[in-house]
A and B are shown apart, each in its own frame.
Chain A
Amino acid sequence: TQLLEQSPQFLSIQEGENLTVYCNSSSVFSSLQWYRQEPGEGPVLLVTVVTGGEVKKLKRLTFQFGDARKDSSLHITAAQPGDTGLYLCAGERGSQGNLIFGKGTKLSVKP
């Protein structure tokens, strides 16, 4: 059973379009993290959200943590080909930093 469900699994869009990726769970997490992973590389942390209702912005990326701390979203404005990659959400389980990852959303932005 996947604790964190991401949708959509695949997304192919044109440069300049907006998109939203969702990360949902029936469990409460103390924090949620978003990573981007490129082929042949490890995931790279984009942001950590901790407080229910929190919104964080990173240039064209906006991250939101649900009020109940069970879900999160990532919105990209005016996507660029350089945004192409696998976007993973991860929740912290326990007190030692063990991360539970979703399956990821594979984003392709075409010029």
Chain B
Amino acid sequence: GAGVSQSPRYKVAKRGQDVALRCDPISGHVSLFWYQQALGQGPEFLTYFQNEAQLDKSGLPSDRFFAERPEGSVSTLKIQRTQKEDSAVYLCASSPGVAGYTDTQYFGPGTRLTVL
């Protein structure tokens, strides 16, 4: 398919483990966003990339969260020393151009992370 894909779809981690979540955006899309969606809540912005440059990481909740997009396509969100409060669905979205309200964000299905 030509949509945004994310892997794994489900991840169970023990508290204190490190996890890595992958996002494959739509080919050629310049902008990439990560969001966190807790149960019963709307998505919350984590970070934004324009190509390989991370232009906004203001939403990352702590220094345990790290994101990268080294070649301007695939992105990885890494969470170190996971805590129970990190349990959520992590959504990735991409858009064709430089982000702005005229640019539609296409979301992936998300990775559901459960920290025990």
Contact = CB atoms under 8 A, between A and B. Distances in A.
Main secondary structure of the interface of B (DSSP, over half): loop
Which range holds the interface residue count of chain B? 20 to 34
B42 A104 contact: yes
Contacts, number: 70
A98 B105 contact: no
Interface residues of A, number: 26
B109 A97 contact: no
A42 B109 contact: yes
Contacts of A30: 101
A97 B93 CA distance: 11
Interface of A: 4, 30-31, 40-45, 48, 50, 88, 90, 92-104
Interface of B: 4, 31, 33, 35, 40-45, 48, 50, 55-56, 59, 91, 93, 95, 99-105, 107-110
